[in-house]
Amino acid sequence: MKSTTLRRSNITREKVAMMEALSRYNREHQEEDFYRKQSKNRELDVLLQNFGVRQQKTEKAPQAYFVIGLIAGVIVTLLITTFVSILINISTPKEDAVPKIKPVAEENAKFRFIPADSSKSATAPIVTKEEYIVKEGDTLESIIIRFYGTFDMDKVNLIQEANKMANPNALSIGQKLIIPVNKG
């Protein structure tokens, strides 16, 4: 190394000499370690052969596993679809088992009108009015469902007209409501 570089880095000549000697030592012993490892591997191979242990094969590449998985998936899918189609064919009735519909003769195909009996008059449904007292937690929707079975805006209008309510959502506890109910 140049002396100017040594002054800038604050490294003494003794330290430089020591580092050079250390690097030489590492290079020399590194080659020895390499040969030592090689000989150990050979010794292990001989021992394994003596005990009858074979070396393991190298692993297959991931592509091989992918291809094997893909082929297995296709085969399984084909088997499942075949099985399902067989089940469908077994469960559906055959044409022989299905009853055939015979065509209707033309005279039976004509419509016949039966006149209504004039002695019975059509009666309008009877409208009764029931009274209900609003309780805590009641809403107009829950009251309509209780009396009519389903919610309908026409029913809201009926109750609103019968009670002369401006706002159907403004119910108070203890309020009496007249509910028109169709019977008949």
pLDDT score, position 171: 87
Q: What is the pLDDT of residues 67-82, one digit of tens each?
A: 999 999 999 999 999 9
Q: What is the pLDDT of residues 33-63, one digit of tens each?
A: 665 666 666 776 766 676 665 556 666 788 8
Q: What is the pLDDT of residues 92-113, one digit of tens each?
A: 766 655 555 555 555 555 656 6
Measured distance CA(76)–CA(53) in Å, rounded: 37
Domain coordinates of the chain in residue numbers? 3-45, 57-94, 126-183
Smallest Cα–Cα separation from 20: which of 36, 6, 33, 39?
6
Q: What is the pLDDT of residues 143-152, one digit of tens each?
A: 888 888 888 8
Whether the full predicted model's pTM is greater than 0.85, yes or no, is no
Q: What topology does CATH give the domain 126-183?
A: Membrane-bound Lytic Murein Transglycosylase D; Chain A (3.10.350)
